[in-house]
Amino acid sequence: MRENTLFQPLTPEILSDLKKAVGADKVIADGSKKLRRYGHDQVADDPDSRAPDAVVFAGSTGDVVKVMEIANRAHVAVTPRGGGSGLSGGAVPIYGGIVLSTEKMDTILEVDTENLIAVVEPGVVTSSLDQVLEPHGLFFAGYPMSEEFCTVGGNVAENAGGGRAVKYGVTGRYIVGLEVVTPAGHVMQLGGKRLKDVTGYDLVSLIVGSEGTLAIVTKVFIRLMPRPVHRSALLAFFPDTTTAISTLPRIVSTHRIIPSSAEYADAFCLREACLMVRETLPYETAGAMMLFESDGPDAAIVDREIGTIESVCAASGALQTYRADTEKTAARFWKIRKQIPWALKHHAKLNALEDIVVPVASIPSMVRDIARIAEEHSIRIPCFGHAADGNLHATVLAGDDSEQSFRERLIPVLEQLYTAAAGHGGTISGEHGIGHKRVKYLPIVMSQSQIEIFQGIKAVFDPNGILNPGKIVVADDHRD
């Protein structure tokens, strides 16, 4: 919890103004137990988690405008929140104040099949959008792996990606327009259904990935893609990480195949996940796992691609390969991969799920660096992630540490982990975001000039610094 010396407290008078503006039924406060739910996201044991002073459930853009006008005038901190599924502390109200939830703004406003655009409110759950798009033969290609519970607004805030980003890219590739409310309560229409626009600065791209620090998204225009008709998956076990990763350039460069997924896990992650799902495949001798997927409109091409990938794996030294001949088998393979973060959390309640990115060819050497750091600090750091785009979720697990001891040990571990990633030409986050969890580590991968530009952009949008303070830039850095 941070001491709040930067912002005004939420007084009874301000709370009364909020209730009058949006309706008392949309506001919870006064020590309600429900407030606790809005004091954290999915970061394990976040020391800065705290319940907000109030939660406002916006039902419309107009509600957001009213809340921001009141908060900006009174200098009260506002933390935007979608599904609360983030992994960087981005939706945590570390300075108290108001959590502005968009979860009730969950309407799919339009599916325009002529322009291939969906227009949705920010509280729409990603999988719900997918269900609506399926009968039209379309899909939102930039979805993350938490699609069952993450919201579109959160995806935009984080520029979220997932297991199929290697082929389809991340959220930002598909966002062509936004409606946003600024910290002062002004509504801006950015972009729209048009696919090309070089009329001045690209504010859509600036808002995407800004983690709710510049404006609150109230409407999203999403470019849709034809839905893949056919999919096929391949699970491969390898003796080690180097052998596993060596398959990627051969698949992409030699055979000119871009798989829709190429997921990696080390031996520890594989074992823990298989134990959790009671998998019977002989995983015990594997040093690493790769899960490949191919998709497309033509079954023969998809089948040929996955067959080529299987041949490459075998020629590269795979111990075993398992080809999914049914959707049920493919789901079984994906269940292993999707259970990894939960299995690690089950193994160690105290943990730090990281999100480093390095060039793909540097993955084996980065994994060796992770092993060296783990040995130096006598701590376990298993690793999994999206191999085809170099995004590694190194996860620091506590042993018998107390909460305080683990936090103290974690600081030098993360410093070395991020420094190693930077040394490979990488960075500290590929899809989870900076939030408040990583903000103090930005100088490892960014110059002071870059950080000052961030601070300047923040100050232009939010002169009073009230919107999601402490995320991406330190809360008081941009103040005079």
> What's the structural domain count of the chain?
3
Q: Is residue 464 part of a domain?
A: no
Cα dist from 325 to 232, 262, 295, 297, 322, whole Å = 7, 18, 14, 17, 9
Q: How far apart are CA 78 and CA 335, in angstroms?
A: 37
Q: CB–CB of 340/273 below 8 Å?
A: yes
For residue 54, what are the contacts with CB-CB under 8 A and spacing of at least 6?
A: 10, 15, 18, 27, 28, 29, 35, 97, 98, 99
pLDDT for residue 29 is more than 70: yes
Same domain? For 277 and 403 the reply is: yes
Task: Provide the pLDDT for residue 143.
Answer: 83
Task: Provide the pLDDT for residue 1.
Answer: 54
Task: Provide the pLDDT for residue 135.
Answer: 98
- Write down the mean pLDDT value for the chain: 96
Q: Is residue 436 part of a domain?
A: no
Averaged pLDDT, 294-311 = 98
> pLDDT tens-digit profile of 127-137?
999 999 999 99
Q: CB–CB of 309/245 below 8 Å?
A: no
Same domain? For 337 and 385 the reply is: yes
pLDDT for residue 435 is more than 70: yes
* Domain extent at residue 129: 108-226
Q: Is residue 368 part of a domain?
A: yes
Q: How far apart are CA 295 and CA 167, in angstroms?
A: 10
For residue 271, what are the contacts with CB-CB under 8 A and spacing of at least 6?
A: 283, 284
pLDDT for residue 369 is more than 90: yes
Neighbours of 69 (CB within 10 A): 17
Averaged pLDDT, 381-392 = 97
Task: Provide the pLDDT for residue 3.
Answer: 63
Averaged pLDDT, 1-29 = 91
Same domain? For 179 and 243 the reply is: no
Same domain? For 239 and 205 the reply is: no
CATH of the domain at 377: 3.40.462.40
Averaged pLDDT, 93-120 = 98
Same domain? For 259 and 343 the reply is: yes
Q: Is residue 309 part of a domain?
A: yes
Last residue of a domain, one of 423, 441, 462: 423
Closest CA to 222 of 117, 151, 348: 117
Same domain? For 222 and 234 the reply is: no
pLDDT band at 2 (very low <50, low <70, confident <90, very high): low
Q: Is residue 455 part of a domain?
A: no
pLDDT for residue 48 is more than 90: no
Same domain? For 397 and 270 the reply is: yes
Give SS3 for 36.
Answer: helix
What residue has token string 């100088």? 443
pLDDT band at 450 (very low <50, low <70, confident <90, very high): very high
Closest CA to 283 of 337, 351, 348: 337
Q: CB–CB of 445/427 below 8 Å?
A: yes
Task: Provide the pLDDT for residue 228.
Answer: 96
CATH of the domain at 184: 3.30.465.10
Rg over alpha carbons for the chain, rounded to the nearest Å, is 23
Residue 49, Cβ density class (10 Å: 0-12 exposed, 13-18 middle, ≥19 buried): middle
Q: Give every strand in the sheet of 216-223, ordered side by side.
A: 108-112, 117-120, 216-223, 175-181, 187-191
Averaged pLDDT, 426-455 = 97
**Planar angle of CA 462, 435, 460, nearest 5 degrees:** 15
Same domain? For 399 and 288 the reply is: yes
CATH of the domain at 37: 3.30.43.10
Last residue of a domain, one of 104, 124, 144: 104
Averaged pLDDT, 467-478 = 84
Cα dist from 309 to 7, 327, 330, 336, 415, whole Å = 56, 18, 15, 20, 37
Same domain? For 131 and 204 the reply is: yes
> pLDDT tens-digit profile of 129-171?
999 999 999 999 998 888 999 999 999 999 999 889 999 999 9
Last residue of a domain, one of 177, 209, 226: 226
Q: Is residue 374 part of a domain?
A: yes
What residue has token string 């009073």? 464
Q: How far apart are CA 162 and CA 404, in angstroms?
A: 32
**What is the token pair recorded at 412?**
């030098």
Same domain? For 96 and 67 the reply is: yes
Same domain? For 242 and 212 the reply is: no
> pLDDT tens-digit profile of 219-259?
999 999 999 999 999 999 999 999 999 999 999 999 999 99
Residue 242, Cβ density class (10 Å: 0-12 exposed, 13-18 middle, ≥19 buried): middle
Q: Is residue 440 part of a domain?
A: no
Residues of the chain with pLDDT > 70, as a percent, come to 98
Task: Provide the pLDDT for residue 410.
Answer: 96
Same domain? For 390 and 406 the reply is: yes
- Prediction pTM value: 0.95
pLDDT band at 477 (very low <50, low <70, confident <90, very high): very low
pLDDT for residue 32 is more than 90: no
Q: Is residue 5 part of a domain?
A: no
pLDDT band at 480 (very low <50, low <70, confident <90, very high): very low
